[in-house]
Amino acid sequence: MPTEPAGRPAPLPREGGGGGTPALAAAASPAGRVWGVLLVMPALAMVALFFLYPLGLSAVSAFHGRDGGWTLANVAKAFELYSLDMAFTLAIVLLSSALVALLSVAIGGYLTLGGNRVAVTLLRWLYRWPLFIPFIVAAQMMRSFLAKNGLMNNILIGSGIIEPLQAASLLDWRGIVVTFVWKQTPFVALMVAGAMASLDRSTIEAARDLGAGRLRILAEIVVPQIRPTLVVGLILSFVTMLSVMSVPMMINPNSPTMITVDMAYRINAHGDYGVANALGFVSYLMAGLVGWFYLRHGVRQGGAR
């Protein structure tokens, strides 16, 4: 708890000027720093013990053989058995991220530039529904909605849009993409719309006065300014989709599938921690790749948030 440090040292100037009482200024003193570290310690220890340590363990186990020595055998075996699934995983996550980007910019753009107040209100009410719906619930919903005899095909047949013979199951890579995009778009759209709403309107109005259309204003004026927020939202989505196990397990557990399913299979069916961790290591590399991309492009843009 923040108690007053003994001896009450001379007040230090705080950021943003302003004197403040000596007691509060003490927060910035060396003693305040010790208190700060002590107060943060328990939370940091939790992350270190139950996240960083197992993370390190998984990276190390990926390169350890059953005899305990260092080896590349796990990685080699992972590539041998699952290189198709690795490519599948990356393709699914990249495609979903691209669709999420497109849709969230479209939604945010209409919320910011849309002329009709009723349509904007309807859209604002509509797009957020999947936001807090858990992935596993979304997966179960889509599993019965997108099936060959699911409600989607039934409605399309019932309304005469397709013939009964044209009904096809989307429970393959398309089902995974649809579920990911359905679930993640509101999250990114919320961030993007928030960033767009806080933009300085004068550049938009100026472009409008010069006769620029709404699409052009969106692409050339609005999106470049909110790019850092968009990139942060997409990277968080990318990694989230990369780590979801329930969606591929419930929608398309057959090969090719995502490597999260393979990891669970290696553990449950074979107790093979080596190859499972090697697959985990590959997923870290994929996440690292987008992190590197962000640092290269995000920071140069002046950094996001």
Partner 1 sequence: MSGPFPASAARALAWVPRGLALGLLAFVIFGPLTNLGLWAVAEKWYFPHTLPLQYGFSFWERVFAPRSNAMASLATSVTIALLTVAACLAVSVPAGYALARLRLPWRGAILLAFLLPQAFPSVAVYINVARIFYTLGLNGTVAGVVLVHTVHGLVFSVWITAAAFAAVDRSLEEAARDMGAGPLRTFFGITLPLAAPGVMASSIFVFLESLDEFTGTYFVGVPDISTLPLLMFNAGMGGNFQIAAITALILLVPSVGFMLVIERFLKADVLAKVGH
Q: Which of 179, 181, 177, 188 lies closest to 105, judged by CA?
A: 188
Q: Which of 121, 138, 248, 250 lies closest to 184, judged by CA?
A: 138
The string over 220-256, giving b where at least 16 C-beta atoms fall within 10 Å of a residue's C-beta and e elsewhere, is ebbbebbbbbbbbbbbebbbebbebbbbbbbbbeeeb
Q: Is residue 4 near partner 1 by the rule CB under 8 A?
A: yes
| Binds partner 1 by CB under 8 A, chosen from 82, 145, 180, 265 | 145
d(CA 191, CA 187): 7
Q: Is residue 140 near partner 1 by the rule CB under 8 A?
A: yes
Helix (H, G, I), strand (E, B) or coil at 67: coil
Q: Is residue 211 near partner 1 by the rule CB under 8 A?
A: no
Cα-Cα-Cα-Cα dihedral sign, residues 110, 111, 112, 114: positive
User: How many residues bind to partner 1 according to rule CB under 8 A?
Assistant: 93
Q: Is residue 44 near partner 1 by the rule CB under 8 A?
A: yes
Tell me whether residue 45 or residue 206 sits nearer to partner 1 (CB atom). 45
Helix (H, G, I), strand (E, B) or coil at 70: strand
Q: Which stretch binds partner 1 (CB under 8 A): 64-72, 151-159, 169-177, 201-209?
A: 151-159
Q: Which stretch binds partner 1 (CB under 8 A): 31-39, 67-75, 207-215, 221-229?
A: 31-39
Q: Is residue 73 near partner 1 by the rule CB under 8 A?
A: no
| Binds partner 1 by CB under 8 A, chosen from 17, 21, 165, 210 | 21
* Minimum distance from residue 241 beta carbon to partner 1 (Å): 10
Helix (H, G, I), strand (E, B) or coil at 274: helix
* Minimum distance from residue 145 beta carbon to partner 1 (Å): 4
Among residue numbers 76 through 115, which ones bind partner 1 (CB under 8 A)? none
Q: Which of 154, 157, 152 lies closest to 171, judged by CA?
A: 152
Helix (H, G, I), strand (E, B) or coil at 81: helix
Among residue numbers 167 through 206, which ones bind partner 1 (CB under 8 A)? 182, 194
Q: Is residue 158 near partner 1 by the rule CB under 8 A?
A: yes
Q: Is residue 51 near partner 1 by the rule CB under 8 A?
A: yes
* Minimum distance from residue 264 beta carbon to partner 1 (Å): 7
| Binds partner 1 by CB under 8 A, chosen from 13, 47, 168, 270 | 47
d(CA 195, CA 301): 15
Q: Which helix (H) or strand (E) holds 43?
A: helix 30-47
Cα-Cα-Cα-Cα dihedral sign, residues 112, 118, 119, 121: positive
Among residue numbers 225 through 284, which ones bind partner 1 (CB under 8 A)? 235-236, 239-240, 242-246, 249-250, 260, 263-264, 267, 273, 276-277, 279-281, 283-284
* Minimum distance from residue 70 beta carbon to partner 1 (Å): 18
Q: Is residue 70 near partner 1 by the rule CB under 8 A?
A: no
Q: Is residue 37 near partner 1 by the rule CB under 8 A?
A: yes
The residues, ordered by sequence, that sit 6+ positions from 27 with a Cβ below 8 Å of its Cβ are: 2, 35
* Minimum distance from residue 242 beta carbon to partner 1 (Å): 5
